[in-house]
Amino acid sequence: MIGAVMDFPRFKRIPEHIGVIPDGNRRWAAARDLPKESGYASGVPPGFDLFEHSRSLGIKEMTLYGFTQDNTKRPSVQTAAFRKACVEIAMGLTERDAALLVVGNTDSPLFPEELIPFARQRQVFGKGSIRVNLLVNYGWLWDLSHGASGATKPSEFTGSLASSDISRIDLVIRWGGRRRLSGFLPVQSVYSDFYFLDELWPDYCGDHLLEALRWYEDQDVTLGG
């Protein structure tokens, strides 16, 4: 378990940028005979824990999969709960040491109004030691086709993405047992390593991150070459 002090194991290398898919909130609640939607609130404190652990380890950027346009087809009691959880994560980050950007389709009543300022431009809190990208009402097709009509050559394509301010991801970590991306940033993930944990997201503890980083340090980096 990562403590408050800097007693971390040393790694040969750590990822510059991690992608985080915090899945399993509803299954976590259901396993406790709680209403499914209550799982999202239980997923908020682990988000701050992971943030602090990542920052302490020297990770420079993290992207959290908040919710997607696909997710908004769920029952409204659930959509309300995960929208609230995303607002709480963002507001909590304003009191921490982060440079926060929210990325998602703001042209929808499902995008929480409180988050619009963070979607306009990245905002620095504290020393802004770690860039945090929070995907809110994100859609892979919305992202990829965003500036499609403007790009006339390949080199312009990545700059035309709705997520163009999010850099290439080194390591995607997914909780909750599924082994898929579920539409998570297709372009930034083309060369990413994937680490999957069976544990459900609200059960996050620092050992999960260390386990992923221990696996990652032994992977090679080829960028497809």
Cβ 20 to a copy of itself shortest distance, Å: 16
> φ, ψ for residue 171 (rounded to 5)?
-140, 125
Closest to a copy of itself by CB, 99 vs 105, is: 105
CB of 175 to a copy of itself, least distance (A): 15
Q: Pairing mode, if any, of strands 61-68 and 17-22?
A: parallel
- Which of 100, 47, 104 has its CA nearest to residue 71? 104
Comparison of 129 and 158: residue with beta carbon closer to a copy of itself? 158
Residue among 110 and 181 whose Cβ is closer to a copy of itself:
181
Residues 188, 33 contacting (CB under 8 angstroms): no
Q: Going by C-beta distance under 8 Å and a sequence separation of 6 or more, which residues neighbour residue 221?
A: none
Closer residue to a copy of itself (CB): 51 or 67? 67
Q: How far is the CB of 220 from a copy of itself (least distance, A)?
A: 8
Q: Which is nearer to a copy of itself, 46 or 139 (CB)?
A: 139
Tokens coding 96:
């921490």
Burial letters 48-70, b for 16+ CB under 10 A, else e: eebbbbbbbbebbbbbbbbbbbe
CB 65 → a copy of itself: shortest distance, Å? 11
Residues forming contacts to a copy of itself in the complex (CB under 8 A) are 68, 70-71, 73-74, 140-142, 144-145, 148-149, 151-154, 156-158, 160, 178-183, 186-187, 189-195, 219-220, 222-225
| Closest separation in Å from C-beta 95 to a copy of itself | 31
Distance from C-alpha of 186 to C-alpha of 190, rounded to nearest angstrom: 6
